[in-house]
Chains A and B, each alone.
Chain A
């Protein structure tokens, strides 16, 4: 229709594009030829060899079992990409609607994690590379109330702290969808499919996209570095151990086999962090910024000695360093961290808007997470460069078996 109205315009731009493309192509060929002439002096006329295909370490076909006693995406291997989406429900969403929602998204998640398109998937072609896709569902207070249950004390709320500068845009929400995989295309497709099936029930409140090092860049299981360069996640409980099970899983009620997820969006001021030299950085953390070893040790796994003193009588590890403030004071103050970096377009003439999507799983937010966060809010040298701008807590229901849906113990 446009062409008949403006017969000249499309043709003109098409020719221009073609010409431009050809010119770039010629330039590129000439460049390659020149390089090769310099390199060998004899192969200037031959065409460049086809690029070598790297088939080592292909991981697109890797699958993580969706069904099980626990939802996937918690104790399973951490993937390179994670998307957290919080949904606000429409006013008319009731218990019956929640049941329909959870049946829909459970089915979607089960299919997608197996590398199949969802039912009525318009792009099933994008589903064939699961790349360890996991989908984890979380229930905010609004979900639990609509389900007809009372919001349990073990899911907070996390109180406000003086250091907080929380924004609604990153906080709270009725329903959480956490999608994680080692492939951003897989993530994008899964997120869209799940949100299409969520659209009838609510609207997107916020979305946070996080990343770690790409699959294959490091041995899997390597503790991640945040964008401060700091090794972040040392002393995490190890999935598969009794300790981990004790820290993470709830053991009774509708959430037995489930847990809670605290998500804090921590803005990191990389510009002022730039002003701190390596010694100052290590001092603030209490660990060597490069190796991750406590300042009283030589390896990341070494146990910090908070009593060790310098010749001048001060503790080697500052009492207001991050690791001194975050260490448990009571035995239950242990959490399982599974955070991601974020790096989004900057604003106000700055060059960076970066930080950490802090995410921790623990059976009881109030008893395990809040005391730690309270101490850090009172004093932690890292607070100089960090600001919590988002905060949310979700109950994570247990997993399900084939034929069941996630949340069935609450909604069934």
Chain B
């Protein structure tokens, strides 16, 4: 309980859209509330922002969970989302989910991170790409707000506030431990080492 409040304490209680804005170029603005209008007004100062909306994290007692949301690149150049960190998990990986030759969905660390082109949006969602929190030690309870720091290849960072929600799905990534260890054990180990090389542990 007390441990969890640390993540909530850092957060304005009312921020739920978890809209965070990062200026990658000169046109900086912190006015997150107006972010949604940016796309419709290309002349606005907000157009050159990278934003992360709809952020949420799955409630968990301990161990592994995942964070989701929409990363939008409003800048004029490609960005590469290379790693994430959070106070609630010492190890965080960026995962992609792909279909293997047998038609099974499998997850693996995204080597080199996610490149997001100009104007594009990277959707992180259950069953798809996601931010994997590998080592949660204190319960993340419904309604908690977890802070994630996203790091880009350029060295820029973006702080995101993700609200915790109970969610029955999104189990394929980490509930099939047996299958994983049997079928993909080796690749899992590789994933972890890959993750370190992409600099997750900031």
Q: List residues of chain A with CB under 8 Å of any chain B CB.
A: 96-97, 99-101, 103-104, 106-107, 119-120, 122, 196-197, 199-201, 402-405, 408, 412
Contacts and interface: CB of A to CB of B under 8 A. Distances in A.
Contact of A199 (B5, B163, B166): B166
Nearest to A101: B143
A101 B16 CA distance: 12
18 contacts: A96-B5, A99-B13, A99-B143, A103-B16, A103-B143, A104-B142, A107-B16, A119-B165, A120-B56, A120-B167, A197-B165, A200-B59, A200-B166, A402-B33, A403-B15, A403-B33, A404-B14, A412-B13
Contacts of A405: 13-14, 16
Given A200-B59, A200-B166, 10 more contacts: A100-B143, A101-B143, A103-B14, A107-B16, A196-B166, A197-B165, A200-B141, A200-B142, A402-B33, A412-B13
B50 to A, nearest CB: 20
Nearest to A105: B143
Contacts of A104: 142-143, 163, 165
Interface in B151-176: 163, 165-167, 169
A100 B56 CA distance: 14
A60 B6 CA distance: 43
Contacts of B142: 100-101, 104, 197, 200-201
A120 B14 CA distance: 18
Contacts of B8: 100
A196 B142 CA distance: 10
A254 to B, nearest CB: 16
Contacts of A99: 13, 143
B195 interface: no
A197 B14 CA distance: 17
Contacts of A97: 141, 143
Nearest to B125: A120
A99 B5 CA distance: 12
A402 B17 CA distance: 10
A109 to B, nearest CB: 11
A200 B163 CA distance: 14
Contacts of B16: 103, 106-107, 119, 405
A103 B16 CA distance: 8
